[in-house]
Amino acid sequence: MTVMEHLQALAGGIGTTVTLTLAAFGVGAVAGFPLALARRSSQWWLRLPALAVIEVLRAIPPLVWLFIVFYVIGADFPLMTPFQAAVAGLGLIAAAYLAEIYRAGLDAVPDGQWEAASATGIGTLTTYRKVVLPQAALIVVPPAATYLIALLKDSAVASVVGTTDITFLAFQEARVTLEGFEVFVIAAALYLALSAPVALVARTADRLISRRLGL
C-alpha cells in the first residue's frame, strides 16, 4: 500500500475529528462561562458545587468519562449517536478546563480596574461588559487556543465508542493492511497539520494582546 492510499483511507475522518473538536470546544466555551462565574462567586452554595464539578471532570481520564457517558447516559438516550455522545462527554470536560481558564483570565484583571469602574458609579453588569470581560477575553485567547490543541488530541478517544474519526479509521486501516506503523505515522501527521495553524494563531494572539494591554 502506498502513502497516498493510507492517506485516502484516513482522510474521511478529518472532517469528523475537526467537527467533534470544534463542537466539544463550543459546548465547553459556553458551559464553562457560568461555571467560571459560579467558581468565583462569593456565595459558597455556588462556589463549592462549581469547584466539585470542575475537579471531578478534570480528574477522570477522558477515555473513562466517555465510556461512562456512552454506556450509562447513552442507555437512557438510545438515539444518541457515538458522535453526539463524544461531543457531550468531551464538551463537559472542555467546560471544566475552560472554566478554569476563564477564571484565571478574570482574576488577571487587576482590582484597580474594578475600583476605577465602581468609583465612577457604573454598575457591576456594565463593569463586567465594558471593562472586565474585554480584558479577560484577550487574556484568555492564548491558553484557550492551547487547550483547543489538547482537545484535538483528546478527541482521538472518541474512536473507542465508535466515532469514525481519524484514529478510528487508522485502527481499521491498520487492521486491514497490517501496516500499522505507516498508518499511524500518517495519522500523527494529520493531527500535527491540524494543530499547527491553531498554535500559530495562539502565538500571534499572545503577542498582539501583550502589546494591546501594555503588559
Partner 1 sequence: MNHPPQPLLEASDICIAYGGHQVVHDVSLAVAPGEVISLIGPSGAGKSSFLRSINWLEPPCSGTLTFDGSTFRGLRDGGVSKRQLQGLRRSIGMVFQQFNLFPHLSALENVVLAQVHALGRSKAEARERALQELHHVGLGEVTDKLPSKCSGGQQQRIAIARALALDPQVMLFDEPTSALDPEYAMDVLVTMRRLADEGMTMLVVTHEMHFAAEVADRVVFMAEGRVVEEGPAAALIRDPQHERTQKFLAAVKGR
Q: What is the 3-state secondary structure (H, E, C) of the chain?
A: CCHHHHHHHHHHHHHHHHHHHHHHHHHHHHHHHHHHHHHHCCCHHHHHHHHHHHHHHHHCCHHHHHHHHHHHHHHHCCCCCHHHHHHHHHHHHHHHHHHHHHHHHHHHCCHHHHHHHHHCCCCHHHHHHHHHHHHHHHHHHHHHHHHHHHHHHHHHHHHHHCCCCHHHHHHHHHHHHCCHHHHHHHHHHHHHHHHHHHHHHHHHHHHHHHHHHCC
Nearer to partner 1, 61 or 134 (CB): 134
Q: Could you tell me the smallest distance in angstroms from the CB atom of residue 135 to partner 1? A: 5
CB of residue 26 vs partner 1: minimum separation in angstroms?
A: 25
In the complex, minimum distance from the CB of residue 123 to partner 1, in angstroms, rounded to a whole number: 7
Point out which residues bind partner 1 (CB under 8 A).
Answer: 110, 112-113, 115-123, 126, 130-131, 134-135, 138, 211-214
Specify the residue, 60 or 133, whose C-beta has the smaller distance to partner 1. Answer: 133
**Of residues 46 and 122, the one with the C-beta less far from partner 1:** 122
Q: Closest separation between CB of residue 108 and partner 1, Å?
A: 12
Shortest CB 129 distance to partner 1, Å: 9
